[in-house]
Homo-oligomer: A and B are copies of this chain.
Amino acid sequence: MVYFFGEKGKESKPLLGGKGSNLGEMTKMGLPVPPGFTISTQVCMDFLKEKKYPRGLEKEIDSNLRKLEKKMGKRLGDEKNPLFLSVRSGAPVSMPGMMDSVLNIGLNDKTINGLEKQSGDPRFVWDSCRRFVQMFGDVVLGVEHSKFEKILEGYKKGRNDTDLNVEELKKIVNDHKKLIKRGGKKFPEYPREQLKMTIDAVFNSWNNKRAKIYRKLHGIPGDMGTAVNVQVMVFGNLGWDSGTGVGFTRNPSTGENKPYGEYLMNAQGEDVVAGIRTPKNIEDLKKDAPVVYQELMKVYKILDKHYRDMQDFEFTIEEKRLFVLQTRTGKRTAQAAVKIAVDMVNEKLIKKEEAIMRIDPDQINQLLHKQIDPKEKGKAKVIAKGLPASPGAGVGVVCFSAERAEELSKKQKVILVRNETSPEDIQGMAVSQGILTARGGMTSHAAVVGRGMGKCCVVGCGDINIDEEKRIFMVKNLRIKEGDWVTLDGGTGEVFLGRFTLIDPEMKGEFQILMKWADGIRKLGVRTNADAPKDAKRARDFGAEGIGLARTEHMFFEGERIRAMREMIIAGDSEGRRKALTKLLPMQKKDFIGIFKAMNGLPVTIRLLDPPLHEFLPKENKEIRKLAREMGVKFGVLRNKISSLEEFNPMLGFRGCRLGVIYPEITEMQTDAIISAAIEVNKGGGDALPEIEIPVLSDVEEGVFLRKVIENTAKKLMEKNRVKIKYKIGTMIELPRACVTADKLAKTLDFFSFGTNDLTQTVYGFSRDDAGRFIPKYIEKGVLKKDPFQVVDRDGVGSLMKICVELARKANPRIEIGICGEHGGEKESIEFCHLIGLDYVSCSPFRVPIARLAAAQAKIKNG
């Protein structure tokens, strides 16, 4: 139940907690750790369950305490030579600041004299005493922290803590004790009782409210329990040959392999943290305490080498003696993480696999996008917060329409602020530095397009109220008007008022090395979702091995194109549609030529027209009137036509392959454009590898029908040009029915690509455009663990994916299966794709490196 430091080492984390096992480890290593013992997490759980100590615990504590006293030659509660203890919590998983600790146990009216004699510094003693009574009263006896602070403030009268003299401190201690008494509580004088009560309090703190919430948020199980570390106090504030500090074995910001740290002489740990005095750089210790410095440098090296990772440790110097109080693996920036991991492989401390596992794929997002200068960001005030839809940062002046964005962007940087965006806003989005919407979720139009463009985007920011007419938005009482500067952080969803400095991403050499290692390990291919040659090229630079999804509909929103598109939709018959499609053909072909060239030699999956046709039509009477004039149609006729195309549930409406089945001429035109483009590229010496993708398939017969249309069109073109183009025909798996009839589909198709955005919508019955109304509340209430549009829902969507893959591979072992939904760039989802045996994942260009890393991790973790 109780282990003296050094009895067990770091392997005992589940039993002794992070802090306890590392204190044990360091003691074993021979590092100067103040002695102590750890009460196990098991005791915590038994105590919380039974509301009393397990049998024999008191005895074990006593015998360890005696061992400690013997070792130190001091005794707890001894008047002349008193021992003082700290009691600190330490769970197996780090829960910073969530549970309680008490220092200076052992102080009472008697021992205080002993300490005064030992230290010769009454002010230090009474300040320690003041801190102890306050800490104990708050943590153990449950007296409100603010009441102690009020007493303290009363004496300080605006001065600093350090300005209080001994007399004042004594009075404060007295007042604190009175406060405790008034609350019906008794401050225990007997040190052994102080210790017992503190241990109880630390155990109980496992189940305090903030710890529970923290566990829920971070998915930490509630039955781990915390260990309790009882340790001899060492004092860094015993004069100018004492001190305290924090060390990092490497630079946590850059990753540089050089000791890094800060310290304060004549100070306690909390002084370093509190920021009242400015700590000094560790290098200065060379002058302040040259011997200790040499000793400390050895500790740096020993810890770094022993733990084979950057350590973040605390030390205290008590009258020139160095003590190490704690060590743990240190937090670091993405850049540092990558550099340290790669360096450690080169230093032969760790293997490549370990290096790869150490990097959180989400973190490397930082390395790929512009960021707000951290120095400025720390001081800025967040005025609103939305969903972090597309990472990076954006600075610009606010404007409220796509047209205005285009106009203003000629002179300055702009941020487009909309209730929600629609395909008509694409051009305005393209010229903006960032996009902010009041509505919509992580997979709303703005979010998807934003990520595709690699453009900073914050969506669903319910705090803002837009008045488009007045060209303002309100956040509570704050009024932001067109032309005001704002800064967005798409990685956190934060909105700042004002103009911040952005810093460019760095693609360091170590990062490239790490990626190469990941590529050597991963089994999953990584492709990209890109609709334009520019995006395709960028993704290829990021390591994409092909295009997993090129949407064709975005191509139809520009100038002349939308006109022809609308003509096609309004046409009353196949003849009229063909006429309009003929106008679109050369434009579409040009798009594909660009993409094929950018992806030369790599597969390019092109999805046939997908959205409901009404998305291409204007909705407002004013615009309809304008279009009617342009097309030479009567306003009423056009309006009726448009309203007849409206749908109750467009997501489940006349879209996807249904368009091609009913209007095969659309599929013919698109096939023509794809195959003609491939022919032209190949004639120029290129190597186009088109994969034609049929969207929203629900039944094999749709596939059979469209395969015929595609093949007939392709055959004619190839015969006419006397060439052969290698192409595949496949489908996006977006519907539950496609999953459960995958065997049939697999027999007539060459590839599948999971469209998990839509699949999640239909499996859950969640419209991604509307679910923003309840998903956040679901997560708040614990009804949903995670947003299934962000992380693949393995139980539901995943089950169907698994069924699909199994049926398909059995029916057609050569079928190629990938994923192109948003999930294709998310680490947990990528792991799932690895587990069910997909061939590749496809994600937005900026997530390609993340996917490469996550795919390698999935392989290392699961084989």
Contacts and interface: CB of A to CB of B under 8 A. Distances in A.
Given A699-B784, A778-B661, A767 B736 contact: no
Contacts of A736: 736, 762-763, 796, 800
Contact of A648 (B662, B763, B767): B767
Contacts of A737: 763-765, 793, 795-797
A771 B698 contact: no
Interface stretch (A35-43, A221-229, A396-404, A649-657): A649-657
A175 interface: no
Contact of A662 (B740, B758, B777, B784): B777
A648 B648 contact: no
Most buried by B among A648, A741, A777, A778: A648
Interface string A763-800: 11111011101100110011110000000010111011
A701 interface: yes
Given A662-B774, A736-B763, A741 B649 contact: no
Given A662-B777, A699-B783, A765-B735, A771 B653 contact: yes
A69 interface: no
Q: Is the interface of A mostly helix, strand, loop or mixed?
A: helix
A758 B764 CA distance: 12
Interface string A648-675: 1111111010100110000000000000
A155 interface: no
A766 B796 contact: no
A651 to B, nearest CB: 4
A602 B12 CA distance: 61
Copies in the complex: 2
A652 B649 contact: yes
Contacts of A662: 774, 777
Given A661-B781, A774-B662, A784-B701, A766 B652 contact: yes
Nearest to A807: B799
Nearest to A796: B737
B784 A649 contact: no
A609 to B, nearest CB: 15
Interface in A720-747: 734-737, 740-741, 744
A857 to B, nearest CB: 27
A658 B763 CA distance: 15
A488 interface: no
Contacts of A658: 774
24 contacts: A647-B767, A648-B767, A649-B650, A649-B652, A649-B770, A652-B652, A652-B771, A653-B771, A654-B773, A654-B774, A661-B774, A661-B778, A662-B777, A696-B765, A698-B764, A734-B765, A735-B764, A736-B736, A737-B795, A741-B795, A744-B795, A758-B765, A762-B763, A762-B765
Ranked 8 nearest A-B pairs via Cβ: A652-B767, A737-B796, A649-B767, A736-B736, A653-B770, A648-B769, A740-B799, A735-B765
